[in-house]
A and B are shown apart, each in its own frame.
Chain A
């Protein structure tokens, strides 16, 4: 082949064809990479097979690359390049046909990946070899920069995401587009006019020749001083960079603490750095010289690696990674140019192949070394190892690759090449004419040549236009429809619409007149400056329509998220991460229950009319959004739109709260505890009745009235229907522990617990924290009645509650409403006030169903095999494929898992409960009789309803279902064969209740509501009654005060006294008096002795107490847990030794006070210890721990330095939450702070209603949050400051006040 040196300046049209071809095939390449990976994952979940496909695509770079170089040197490069593209286009076209025919398996996929990899390796070598033919030597760097930059941008930023998006539509599309891109690319290469001819007299191609010429290329590389050094040093750089990238995902998640999306951002930053590097590389090389540019390239990396290795800050790491990306790109451009100049043209392919073998081969080696180093030495190790390697490379580059070494060689090579070309041009004046960039055809070229050139030019222009069309279409499609997790950015970021419209929605509402379809009479809604709303309507129907509209205006996203959560439609909005939640909820059956509730609700009833009107109001707002496109940001970003609201949706939202308060997995924990600790010890330490003294609000006497039947379970198979054949084996039905292996039971519990652990926060009931109390008669100033209530829930932004007052003829009620549900859940009306706390009884009973492979789809119950009822669902997934789900129902309820044992659940929340009808009756009740009558229909979640009225009466009723089993221990999963089934519930007349107690006070704080003589089973200490410390503290206050006022109740709601500390700290101080203490321990003891038991942020004693108690628990129980190998990782809140396990706190309290020599203090196999011994050890450990965390001065160990409080955003976006901020309280203080050292569970609403006479009350309330869910709104978190400082706002009542008024009118009237 004749060496050719371009004589013209700059880039000619031929280079433009190559560039355009490169960016077009770049789009296809990026799409194919994503599509191959997704296709492999769709074909198999076997990780090994998936990796085989990936390796098959990358392996040719090593095994084919060097030999392909021989072909590059022997054949016409231009022709070979377009043939490579054509071959890839044809191969992919054939593959698409097979995909459409559904005839692709993993082996074929691997073969295609290998072929594409081989062609790509050859084409890459060719495109590097052909550049000097098309661009002047003076602009080689710029040419390489443009080629690599174009390919980089189109493949990384466009092809990769687009491939995923198109694959979701159809697997064939990305491969089809890739095939077309190669066809276009090949056509453009075909238009290049510069010929690259085969040298005359080339020997015939044989295997021997290929081998020898490949070896010749390697020898040449090894013998060239500069290229050899470049090859080794760049190889080392590759090794170091890939070593870091291999563990980058773990580094991002565990060290930088960013989310999966954050990791994606980090990768994008590397890519941006790479792009910047490509842009600056030619200028850098021109300004500094090639050698120095290489030195800069090497020097950038070690510093970046050191910074990356030392920092834990995501922003700093991102900047460091950006420099790494830039360094790699600069190195690529400079070394490509270096090779193109230094390697003789006739052997460029072979030498380049050898070079790329060495450099490319270092990548997998680097990944392996990075992984091993990270595993052995920690995630930061690859950074430091890489920095060391690159420092060495930098140092070596100063000796081997300085300008005075490289530049003369390059100048010499360029001079030689030019001389050669000059000589050739003189000998063959026509030969190279067409090859010069920008050169015109010589005058003596014949007409045929000119016509061919003209045709090529036209084809080139046409292909460019087609390419521009394709890329534009791809970009517009990406912007219009999004790709994978990326939203449709075009409509989303439209500055006149899109997410920016949420800005106007964030403004404080202004007074206005609104026309609402469905309204019969005008309605007025007014707002206080804090956003508290009052609605006044002429009828209940208009009232609830307006409430639906109001809720939707301020809380649409929250309402939609809640109904999606309950109805198993979260993945439609959130994507793949929510699929497990949707599966679980559809199995559990909230949607089925809500549908059954709606079917049982008479349309003309109060509840039926309220639900229909409410849905109409919500849909009025949805209709407005649909018409204007002003969707909340979440919907604009995702492109998903909320469906119209239905009454069933309101009932689903109600069911979500029921699940939150009532669904428990504690029986599975009991199962595992019994398995590991033994049944006897488990029941000793987690007993049904707590060993310590507690104060029930209903002291008795009690009545045993038998059981009442339960209403039909909407999620159970019919007991009569589906009865199959009797058990042919004549075997006795299995009972607990018999016929079922321990491994199977553990497997079932593990499967269920791991599922529930992955549910959104609040989906499973964990923390029992609510307070409500009332006082009357002499206990109250004025002799009437006062009620205080603060239900404790997961504290979120927006809050569970929306404060509103509702007024219509016959309806006058004010308080906390639940967005999504009509009515006031807790508050006051003209005559009564009420609040709620959770009853905490066991409402979830698990059954181990007996199944057999010989009876597929059946279970054994009451002596016969019964067919399971099946329900089928489809779960739409945003950015993914719709998932089919089949739910099996037994007579007990839905099957939640078939791992190990087919386990079903009989949950009271699965029984349709007319909660809304009850709430609306309570809203209208005027005395305790009506109140109690309304609550008789309440089923789930069982709640303590605390009451106070304007006549000075108080009372409480624990309404709801309390399931009773015929026999067995319901706190562990029971056999599902019939003998252990739920037979009914405690009759309403026998549920815990009290009315006008003789002591004039009553308090519920989730403690066991009845004493030990209560004749029914209602739950255990672990499932899930409170420790009783809050109730004791409240009773202690109420019974020691007379003539209390609302201010006293407010102070009590914010009381931070730890009742357990008042009992234990004196014993601890006594124990410490006997022991030898270090000076610091003495100082700590002194702080503790002066402490007033209040868990305020400034109290150092609070830190010492809490740390001591957690250490005390650990020292007593953890040795037992370790010895028994309790699998705490399966359910950390439910199994690990911590203050969250109420039973253990109660045990330890009781033993410390009354049984200090209990054997539990002595770990298995160790000498005997007493409570005092362990307390001293725990105190020493606490002091040591606090010294390490907070310094050496005990007086400075303030509780606020250890304990924080935060509000999570419902969207799970941390920046949209509040805090964390230093906070007082703990789980046992009345103003509770639960959920760990950064608490997020506690009072969700504080209300005090003080009755002054008939129909007269002063009511005040506050909640942590704000009325609006829009984080940019001033009403998003404006109430938090009131809540934190202990202030209340007046509960809106008789006259809707406020400066902002909406006049709602029936639609159709003119303004």
Chain B
């Protein structure tokens, strides 16, 4: 075995568990994200507007304990928040309710230009802000509970 081949083999051996771990993560994270989105949708209907924060905190805590990088946790929670709050609006619009008209009315009442996109965007920003704060808190709590610092790559 040449030196090059040996190094290549070592690299492949090292990379295999990482790939396996990534696969496992993908398998578990997709249902987790879907569950999070469903929870947000249901929570929104029940008036639990703070649920993006709570779910983000939980997800970030688990991510920290699983040694995932903070950026990964943040991306996941923000994604869940965006879809979890955006989907009810999309559904209302698809079922014929005047979402755009209502958004324009709300913008006008708030003294903003009567543009529907402003209120829709603001709604999603509120979800993302909650998710960001929840992620920070969850991750910080995980740092207190965990032993070692996370790496930049999934282990």
Contacts and interface: CB of A to CB of B under 8 A. Distances in A.
A261 B111 contact: yes
Question: Interface SS of chain A: helix, strand, loop or mixed?
Answer: helix
Interface string A925-938: 00000000000000
Interface stretch (A494-502, A698-706, A813-821): A494-502
A637 B47 contact: no
Contact of B102 (A490, A1209, A1272): A1272
A12 to B, nearest CB: 11
Interface string A479-509: 1100000010111011111111011101100
A497 B49 CA distance: 9
Interface string A634-649: 1001000000000000
A879 to B, nearest CB: 14
Given A468-B136, A1271-B105, A1272-B102, A503 B92 contact: yes
Interface string B4-47: 00000000000000000000000000000000000001011111
Interface string B122-144: 11001001100110110111011
A472 B106 contact: no
Contact of A637 (B43, B88, B99, B109): B109
A297 B105 CA distance: 39
Given A262-B111, A496-B46, A633 B88 contact: no
Contacts of B143: 461, 464-465
B49 A468 contact: no
Interface in B96-128: 96-99, 101-102, 104-114, 119, 122-123, 126
Given A262-B111, A461-B144, A1215-B114, A491 B105 contact: no
B98 A496 contact: no
Contacts of A1214: 108
A691 B17 CA distance: 104
B108 to A, nearest CB: 4
A1272 to B, nearest CB: 3
Given A461-B143, A475-B129, A634-B109, A497 B92 contact: no
Given A479-B126, A496-B88, A629 B47 contact: yes
B47 A494 contact: yes
Given A471-B136, A494-B44, A499-B106, A479 B50 contact: yes
Contact of A506 (B101, B126, B133): B101
B104 to A, nearest CB: 7
A51 interface: no
B140 A489 contact: no
Given A493-B122, A495-B44, A496-B47, A502 B102 contact: yes
A833 to B, nearest CB: 37
A495 B123 contact: yes
A1213 interface: yes
A497 B102 contact: no
A262 B111 CA distance: 7
Contacts of A502: 102, 105-106
Contacts of A259: 111
B50 A476 contact: yes
B122 A479 contact: no
Given A507-B97, A1215-B114, A472 B105 contact: no
Interface string B44-80: 1111011001000100000000000000000000000
Contact of B134 (A261, A262, A472): A472
Contact of B144 (A265, A462, A467): A462
A478 to B, nearest CB: 9
Interface in A487-543: 487, 489-491, 493-500, 502-504, 506-507
A1107 interface: no
Contacts of B106: 499, 502, 633, 637
A1215 B85 CA distance: 27
A496 B44 contact: yes
A495 B97 contact: no
A interface, size bucket: 35 or more
A678 to B, nearest CB: 47
A1211 interface: yes
B41 A496 contact: yes
Contact of A475 (B102, B122, B130): B130
A948 to B, nearest CB: 41
B119 to A, nearest CB: 7
A510 B40 CA distance: 30
A471 B133 contact: yes
Interface string A456-469: 00000110110111
A503 B98 contact: yes
A634 B110 CA distance: 9
B140 A495 contact: no
B99 to A, nearest CB: 5
Interface string A883-926: 00000000000000000000000000000000000000000000
A495 B85 contact: yes
A494 B89 CA distance: 10
Nearest to B146: A461
Contacts of B122: 489, 493
Nearest to A460: B143
A888 to B, nearest CB: 37
A1216 interface: yes
Given A479-B49, A496-B41, A1271 B129 contact: no
Contacts of B113: 314-315, 1215
Contact of B99 (A467, A480, A503, A1209): A503
Contacts of B89: 495, 500
Contacts of A262: 111
Contact of B140 (A464, A496, A499, A1213): A464
A479 B85 CA distance: 15
A855 to B, nearest CB: 48
Contacts of B49: 479, 490-491, 493-494, 497-498
A493 B126 contact: yes
B137 to A, nearest CB: 4
Contacts of A464: 140, 143
Of listed B85, B88, B99, B105, residue having the most chain A CB within 10 A = B105
Contacts of A472: 53, 57, 133-134, 136-137
Nearest to B139: A468
A468 B144 CA distance: 12
Contacts of A499: 102, 106, 119
Contacts of B108: 1209, 1211, 1213-1216, 1271
Contacts of B137: 465, 468-469, 472
Contacts of A489: 122, 126
Contacts of A629: 47
Contacts of A471: 133, 136
Contacts of B47: 491, 494, 496-497, 629
A1005 to B, nearest CB: 36
Contacts of A498: 49
Nearest to A265: B112
B38 to A, nearest CB: 12
Interface centre among A262, A469, A493, A1271 (most CB of B within 10 A): A493
A491 B47 CA distance: 7
B15 to A, nearest CB: 24
Contacts of A506: 97-98, 101-102
A268 B9 CA distance: 56
B124 to A, nearest CB: 9
5 contacts: A265-B111, A465-B144, A494-B44, A503-B92, A1270-B105
Given A633-B109, A1213-B108, 12 more contacts: A265-B112, A462-B144, A472-B133, A472-B136, A476-B50, A491-B47, A493-B123, A497-B45, A503-B101, A503-B102, A637-B110, A1216-B105
Q: State the 10 A-B residue pairs at the shortest beta-carbon distance, nearest first.
A: A261-B111, A496-B44, A1272-B101, A496-B45, A1215-B114, A494-B49, A1215-B108, A465-B140, A468-B140, A495-B88
